[in-house]
Structure 1
Amino acid sequence: MDKVMASAADIPEGASLAVGGFGLCGIPTVLIGALLAQGVGGLRVVSNNCGVDGQGLGVLLTAGRIARVTGSYVGENKEFARQYLAGELEVELTPQGTLAERLRAGGTGIPAFYTPAGVGTQVTEGGLPWRYGRDGSVAVASPPKETREFRGRTYVLEEAITTDFALVRAARSDRHGNLFFHRSAANFNPLAAMAGRITIAEVEELVEPGAIDPDTVHLPGIYVNRILGQSATIFSFPPSALKAWGSFR
């Protein structure tokens, strides 16, 4: 039951990641920085947004480590827009509420669900540019999605999301992985944690089992595989990478 780990250095090239946070609130900064230093690339990221230039997931993006993003918000990141329009990055945009429910559904074993969000738009009809060609043409477009009427209203079928790993940040955890998030950091963090097959939580405070009131547990430990406190060695990486990592902490 003790899920505290000394390191977590096994995220491979091309892995899919669900990453918690909203904007720069509640993002797993230390895990992102350590992943940057580890050097893996080709990552397929699911997150509300991709950070900003020089912060959050933006550091992985600038380093060319991210191949695909599923998210709901593009703004405030010039490098994100540049890579997308230049055909260097594949992007699947989805309504924010739909993204949240796709993550939650993945964590609860629901394969798909119907929602009215996006009906009558390219979200449903297809044709959204996922990847541009170098000449500005659309190289990969979103496919049309199944629709169905319920009580006279049209709904679109959205598939659940699961990922190889999830990276989240919590204010407090016990050794069993029960997590408490501080205020608005309880945004996409619980949902991302649910969607990951292996969920790694960086925590600000590690306490013993029983120290967290059960009524204040935001995410039960059944969804958490590894806990890394501030003193943990999160990823193993060569000394030459220390300077690069430190500049993004």
Structure 2
Amino acid sequence: MKEGPDIASIAALIGDPARANILTALMSGKALTATELAGEAGVTPQTASAHLAKLDAGGLLKADKQGRHKYFALASDDVAGVLEGLMGLAANSGHLRTRTGPKDAALRKARVCYSHLAGEMGTRMFDHMIAHRLLIEGEGDVALTDTGTVFATEFGIDVAYLNRQKAPLCKACLDWSERRTHLAGSLGRAMLARMEELGWATRDQKTRIVAFKKTGEAAFEGLFG
């Protein structure tokens, strides 16, 4: 028997088409019910419940019960990162489920990846923050610098609060369409949330597209070049 992590069991969980659709639907960062996820997966509620139980047991999902309803979300940024990577591998290998269309171009420009900004604009933000030493890369991950802390604070983000949370502040996530890194972690989520608060952009929960207004895109350009 080989030693080390068992990637086959995780791959088997993701590899089922219905479960893959469930996981992809949760990439928006929005928690969904079993009934909603059944619709996304194209299966009956009973079948969806069986799939959700397997994904939960496998550590890919987390469940939160509120009243009569149970809501499901991705377990962590790490799960989202794996899914983004697989999407990139599938796209580069020609494994696409639909023909390219207008929505595809919009998704490539700006989209939600588990509540942080991905796509062209996400990688541009990350590249700018690296180039200006707001973030530093090392040992396969990324960290916020003192200069970056000042920058984020001036942008309206409570970095001290984020640092007190269990979730990692910064994580590097490989973008499936750009094949470069965008910013994940609690800071990545806070950056996108702040852009929405400022009225720069809105997200489409059904497609994961982040639509920037003209004024918002101009403000983004002014901040991130």
Greater helix proportion: 2
Structure 2 length normalisation: TM-score? Answer: 0.25
TM-score, normalised via structure 1 length: 0.23
Larger RCO (CA under 8 A, 6+ residues apart): 1
More strand by share: 1
